[in-house]
Amino acid sequence: MSFSGGWYPVALSNQLEPATSAGTRLFDREICIWRDSDGGVHAWEDRCPHRGMRLSFGFVRGDRIACLYHGWQYDMQGRCRFIPAHPQLDVPSTIRVATYPCIDRLGMVWMCSDLKMEMPLDLPIDRRDIAPVRSLYVDCAPIATMQALSARSECTVLAGGALISIHAGPQNMIAGFQPFGKGKTALHIVFLGSPEQYPGNARRSAAVWAEELRHDLEREPVPDTAPAGSYEAAPWRS
């Protein structure tokens, strides 16, 4: 098992409201995710080309995001369109932010980890009725998290490791798997079905299950088949 370039979920869709931005990481790279006023999602390098300020601290206005520091405004393609200190300037097209492919699917915001990769997002499940539970950020390496999860619950790994179908007790959940960094993993947990099918009690008990999972993962020693700081499992040792 290893994690490599491809599509990964980086947030629950309902956590990223229109006209807001947030910072996250994928494979330790700092990413700004933001949703424009029309609901479109974007994943960019979290760095303003001007002075390096995190764009995730910026303000979304309509179809642009403005840097908190000096207000440079970028359109949805990442191109700088307006510099407040020089309002008359025709901003060169070369001033732009690196943008990643990004899409809203299965109640999660997905991004492609490779700037130049042009592979479509191909998920084995395609549902629009999703009941979000919660995102869980665990101080545990991605491979170790995956192994511990598989050991404690009946799991099916899908989409190359980016999705896990979890059967825990009476509950069937789907978790989006985000290799946040070498020592940190995020799980974005949803139920397949409408929020009416999964009322507050069901989602609350799933959230409690997730909390307990995190508690256990952070307390357990890292298995020796999952070296800390690696995105790959160690070779089999008998």
Partner 1 sequence: MTQVATVFFVGRFQPESFLEFIRHRAERLSLAAAVHSAGPNCIEVSVAGDEELLDAFELACSLGPIDCLVLDHHRVSTAEAPERVGEYRSGP
Which spans of this chain sit near partner 1 (rule: CB under 8 A)? 49, 83, 86, 89-90, 92-95
- Distance of closest approach, residue 85 Cβ to partner 1, in angstroms: 8
The nearest distance, CB 83 to partner 1, in angstroms, is: 8
Instruction: Pick the closer one to partner 1 by CB: 92 or 169.
Output: 92
Looking at the Cβ atoms of 93 and 197, the one nearer to partner 1 is: 93
Question: To the nearest whole angstrom, how small is the minimum distance from the Cβ of residue 41 to partner 1?
Answer: 27
Please say which residue, 86 or 237, places its beta carbon nearer to partner 1.
86
Residue 202 tokens, joined = 């069901």
- Closest approach, Cβ 69 to partner 1, in A, equals 15
Quick one: 70 or 204, whose CB is closer to partner 1? 70
Q: Give the shortest CB-29-to-partner 1 separation in angstroms.
A: 20
Q: CA-to-CA distance for 69 and 196, rounded, in angstroms?
A: 43
- Residue 4: count other Cβ atoms within 10 Å of its Cβ: 12
Q: How far is the CB of 94 from partner 1 (least distance, A)?
A: 5
Identity of the amino acid at 212:
E
Q: Which is nearer to partner 1, 50 or 127 (CB)?
A: 50
Q: What is the DSSP letter of 182?
A: T
Give me 196's structure tokens: 């009416």
The residues, any chain, with a CB within 8 Å of residue 140's CB and separated by 6 or more, are 148, 183, 184, 185, 217, 218, 222
Rounded CA separation 103/96 (Å): 20
Whole-angstrom distance, CA of residue 86 vs CA of residue 94: 16
Cβ proximity to partner 1: between 115 and 119 the closer is 115
Q: What is the DSSP string of 56-88?
A: GGSEEETTEEE-TTT--EE-TTSBEEE-TT-TT
